[in-house]
A = this chain, B = another copy of it.
Amino acid sequence: MILINIGDELLIGQVVNTNAAFIGQQMTAAGFELTDVITIGDDGPAIREAVERAMSKTDVVLMTGGLGPTKDDITKKVICDIFQRELVIDEATLKQVTEMFAARGMELTETNRQQAAVPEGCVVLTNTLGTAPGLWLEKDGKVLISLPGVPFEMEKLIKDEVLPRLKAGKFRSSSLLYKVVQCTNITESGLSDMLEEYEKQLPEGFKLAYLPKPGIIRLRLTAEGNDTEQMQTTLDQQFDLLKQQVAEYAFTDEDIELEEVVGRLLVKAGKTMATAESCTGGYISHLITSVPGSSRYFQGSLVSYSNDIKRDLLNVREDNLKRRGAVSEPVVSDMALNAMGLFDVDYTIATSGIAGPDGGTPEKPVGTVWIAVATPVRLATKEFRFGSRMGRKQIIERAARAALNMLRIEIEKDLR
């Protein structure tokens, strides 16, 4: 399967291509193998060349983008050229688009009407969330699927229309299965040396990948082949072997984010938490509340961006702020400890640092972050130096992950 994403905004980097990641996840989970993702601009000849080349290489070609009502969207015309079809108005789509506009009290213009034009004889995939329908065309046993580029419209069409049709068809390639174990407190090359013998004994079709993230290395064991049942059995065996090898460094064998690991530990322990954030500005709170069901253990957060708020709402001692500065061990300690009572919780995280680009000093350069984690019986503090070259967003992200990892370690101690 080849995916073609269309849009100048992707090439000039105005938009990050999250559609490719979503489609990759969905197809992998359903047993289809995506081999190439091609991103090109809103350019007729380039689209035509990419589609024709993809259709010569694979059975299923999926396109996103270039289906909207405006003039920069030219995908439908290119498809008509390739398949030698005419554009015709699809009455069901026209009715739906008309109703969508009527519901908003708006009249249909000619531009909107053209949204209902589709290549003659194609299968129309109804888009209930927008005005551009998906298209499904077959030729010589191969299929071309064209979807709108708006993420939530595309996502619903993939789940409701594309996957059921692909599964019913004869398009499934060899299966791909994988499992992930996540490690911490070891480098990528340290793991690689440790696993040299293990990798050598892996059966054919098996592959181990090292995926480093700030503070974490994810090990992904992949199996590819045709006999799914046999593959699953061998994958389970090999994965158990892998887990034994890295037991000292592994903290989860699920492919989930750190905030979800922390959430599960809190549910298991029956405990609650809150955060008191300065330099991370609410990002830790955001990560934690991204997890469905987090209201079971998360009470809230006080983002104390100014020193006044640290003093007035978090009772940080004036003396600590004045003599040691906001980015210091006593200040994050005050923040974490006072947040315990303020939110009436079992665990708190506190952060204070210099995310940059300004505000650094020789003693506390940009990237300096103090983190404190308070538990019912302990207070853990640590200074991080993420380096001034890293950029504001990365420093915030690294600090948040470091803080969640410190909390994870403390909860695990209490669960022992």
Q: Report A's interface with B, CB cutoff 8 A.
A: 8-18, 20-26, 28, 34-42, 46, 50, 68-72, 106, 109-112, 115, 128-129, 131, 150-152, 155-156, 176, 178, 187-193, 196, 199, 207-212, 218, 220, 222, 255, 275, 277, 280-286, 288-290, 292-295, 298-306, 308-309, 313, 342-344, 355-358, 387, 389-394, 396
Residues of B contacting A211 in the complex (Cβ-Cβ under 8 angstroms): 9, 14-15
Residues of B contacting A301 in the complex (Cβ-Cβ under 8 angstroms): 282, 301-303, 305
Shortest CB–CB separation between residue A172 and chain B, in angstroms?
A: 16
**Complex Cα gap A28–B343 (Å):** 48
**Complex Cα gap A309–B10 (Å):** 42
Residues of B contacting A69 in the complex (Cβ-Cβ under 8 angstroms): 188-189, 192
- Find out whether the CB atom of A111 lies under 8 angstroms from the CB atom of B193: yes
Shortest CB–CB separation between residue A292 and chain B, in angstroms?
A: 6
The chain B residue sitting closest to A72, CB to CB, is B209
The 6 A-B pairs of least Cβ separation, nearest first, read A281-B289, A13-B24, A282-B285, A282-B282, A13-B25, A37-B39
The chain B residue sitting closest to A389, CB to CB, is B156
Residues of B contacting A39 in the complex (Cβ-Cβ under 8 angstroms): 20, 36-39
Q: Which of B13, B111, B150 contacts A192 (CB 8 A)?
A: B111
**How many copies of the shown chain assemble into the complex?**
2
Given contacts A20-B39, A39-B20, A71-B199, contact A299 B295 (CB under 8 A): no
Offer 18 A-B interface pairs, CB within 8 angstroms, sorted by A.
A8-B220, A10-B21, A11-B34, A12-B25, A13-B22, A13-B26, A14-B24, A106-B187, A106-B190, A109-B190, A111-B192, A129-B387, A280-B286, A281-B290, A289-B305, A290-B393, A301-B305, A313-B342
- Find out whether the CB atom of B10 lies under 8 angstroms from the CB atom of A20: yes
**Complex Cα gap A222–B11 (Å):** 13
Shortest CB–CB separation between residue A2 and chain B, in angstroms?
A: 10
Shortest CB–CB separation between residue A297 and chain B, in angstroms?
A: 10
**Complex Cα gap A16–B376 (Å):** 38
**Complex Cα gap A156–B42 (Å):** 30
Given contacts A9-B220, A189-B112, contact A309 B72 (CB under 8 A): no
In the complex, given contacts A42-B209, A282-B286, what are 16 additional A-B residue pairs having Cβ atoms less than 8 angstroms apart? Answer: A8-B209, A11-B37, A13-B21, A13-B23, A15-B21, A36-B38, A38-B38, A72-B207, A72-B210, A106-B187, A151-B394, A285-B286, A289-B355, A299-B305, A300-B305, A300-B306
